[in-house]
Amino acid sequence: MPDLHAQNISFVNFKLSGFHDLGEWRPFLFIPYFLMFLLSTSSNSILIYLTITQKALHSPMCIMIGLMAVVDLSLPIFFVPNMLLSFLLNWNEISLAGCLIQMFCLLYVGSFQSTLLVWMAVDRFFAICRPLYYHKYMQMPNFLKYIIVPVIRNIILIVTIVSLAGRLSFCGTNEMNHCFCEHMAVVQLACGDISVNNIVGLVTVFLIPTVDFILFSLSYFVILASVLQSGKSHLKAINTCITHIIVMAVTLTFALIAFLSYRIRNNLSSSARVFLSTMYLLFPSCFNPIIYGVRTKEIREQFLKFIKHVLPKCINNEA
């Protein structure tokens, strides 16, 4: 007969056991996740360096791409190193305080990523559809005024989510079938009623990534309509808009499937859920430097100059 008293003892540490059903194959996950982490870290670091050091990239759009690179560099750092150690050395414990801090960092930085994408779409809207008003509305002082509202929205919702999770009592099992402290993975280990946490989580998903995606898509659809109506050949603009929409749509799909899999009956395996959760954080971090960096003419030109300048020095030093 189970010890009921032991089951009600609260704990302060979680054991992260994501992908545990893969058994002896679990350590091999280190290779793909390490390569993705390396790609994200190196590409975003180069993009940040170019944005800071090259005066030609100090335009509003390039600064936003630089900020996006900071976000994309930060997100994997919050959970991938710990996950890689878990794969190799089975280091999988995290304290309750550490778990809540990780949850806040991932949610807030992730929400800022979504908000930045909206303002990058707005920048493209004024540059292509309203070029005469571009400098008026997209100068940095005006830009900061406009972005303050969504930033405050993000702070209020994320602080509410983490605070409500921190007030829960955790007992019974401390094993979390995940690789990082995702909100619902943590909340489901609580002993009491989690309906409020569930509702606030759903509201946050709707008010931040979903609303941002709608605004993002509307901006690009207006751009596409304007380009098509002008009768001019703007294949580059059309290609860029469609690519941006596809990348954000894929990321949002990963996120929504992962979030809803905790709330509705489904046949999604635990490993598939963990995989989707890691992908909605890692996928944009790996591909945004290519989509928003290399494919932007100004950044591409500065990157090529950087390569031409650095490679001869490396060759000479080796010689």
Map out the domains of the chain as residue ranges: 4-318
Determine the pLDDT at residue 81: 92
Determine the pLDDT at residue 4: 41
pTM (2 d.p.): 0.83
Determine the pLDDT at residue 298: 79
With contact defined as beta carbons under 8 Å apart, do 178 and 224 qualify?
no
HEC letters along 273-304? HHHHHHHHHHHHHHHHHHHHHHCCHHHHHHHH
Determine the pLDDT at residue 194: 87
Tokens read off for 35: 């390569």
Determine the pLDDT at residue 26: 87
Calpha distance 223→226 (Å, rounded): 5
Determine the pLDDT at residue 77: 93
DSSP secondary structure, 63-81, as one string: HHHHHHHHHHHHHHHTTHH
Choose the CATH number for 4-318 among 3.40.50.300, 3.40.50.150, 1.20.1070.10, 3.40.640.10.
1.20.1070.10
Tokens read off for 157: 């919702």
Query: What is the block-wise mean pLDDT of the chain (319 residues), using blocks of 10 residues?
Result: 44 81 87 94 91 83 86 92 89 88 92 84 81 76 76 92 90 82 88 88 87 85 79 62 74 76 72 86 86 78 77 56
Q: Quote the crossing angle between the two packed helices 30-53 and 60-77, to the nearest 10°.
A: 150
